[in-house]
């Protein structure tokens, strides 16, 4: 997997997680309702708009790479044949992705009402929603950096103050 794919997957995963966590508080009403084909369709549209299942694209190639590596380590003399066979099997298993998408759509439908899913899809298809998805990796990096600096400062100051208080209390 190249670094662009990894970054895209992290972007999509992070943005989706952040967006969905912000919306979970309003999703309770979806749990009790019947799931209709229209509801599933709305779930699929929300999933597409957020890139919710994009990270699943890497599962089959990752498993294939893992299996190839294990087999080739044991039989490097037939590396080409192993690669060909694993690739053919991987391609033959690709249609199993459809049922996975169905399961994910059902999960979304169980957590969100159809109206909520339509709102998610509308937002993440909008200019602002797309910007949110595109900016999420940068936001996460920047938040991680400022929180790291803040944590280091808090740890330094707390350690210093605790030492002073221990000294004042005659415990050091």
Q: What is the pLDDT of residue 34?
A: 82
Q: How do the domains of the chain map onto residue ranges?
A: 3-125
- pLDDT band for position 17 (50/70/90)? low
pTM for the full model?
0.66
Percentage with pLDDT > 70 across the chain: 81
At 98-128, the pLDDT tens digits run: 999 999 999 999 999 999 999 999 999 999 9
**When comparing pLDDT for 92 and 30, which is higher?**
92
Q: What is the pLDDT of residue 1?
A: 46
Q: What is the pLDDT of residue 88?
A: 97
CB 45 within 8 A of CB 117: yes
For residue 75, report the phi and psi dihedrals to the nearest 5 degrees.
Answer: -140, 70
Spatial distance between the Cα atoms of 119 and 129, rounded to a whole number of angstroms: 11
Q: What is the pLDDT of residue 156?
A: 97
Does residue 87 carry a pLDDT above 70? yes
**How is 5-62 classified by DSSP, letter by letter?**
HHHHHHHHHHHHHHHHHHHGGG-GGGGGS---HHHHHHHHHHHHHHTTTGGGGGHHHH
Percentage with pLDDT > 90 across the chain: 80
Q: Count of alpha carbons within 13 Å of 126, Cβ hemisphere only? A: 9
């Amino acid at each position: 997997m190249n670094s662009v794919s990894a970054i895209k997957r992290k972007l999509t995963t992070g943005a989706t997680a952040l967006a969905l966590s912000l919306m979970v508080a309003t999703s309770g009403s979806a749990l009790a309702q019947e799931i209709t084909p229209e509801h599933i369709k709305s779930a699929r549209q929300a999933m597409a708009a957020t890139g919710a299942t994009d990270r699943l694209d890497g599962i089959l190639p990752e498993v294939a790479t893992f299996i190839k590596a294990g087999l080739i380590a044991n039989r490097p003399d037939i590396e080409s044949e192993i690669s060909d066979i694993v690739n053919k099997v991987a391609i033959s298993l690709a249609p199993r992705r459809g049922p996975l998408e169905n399961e994910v759509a059902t999960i979304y439908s169980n957590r969100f009402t159809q109206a909520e899913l339509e709102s998610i899809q509308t937002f993440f298809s909008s200019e602002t929603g797309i910007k949110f998805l595109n900016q999420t990796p940068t936001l996460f990096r920047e938040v991680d950096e400022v929180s790291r600096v803040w944590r280091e400062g808090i740890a330094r100051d707390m350690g210093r103050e605790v030492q002073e208080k221990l000294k004042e209390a005659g415990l050091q």
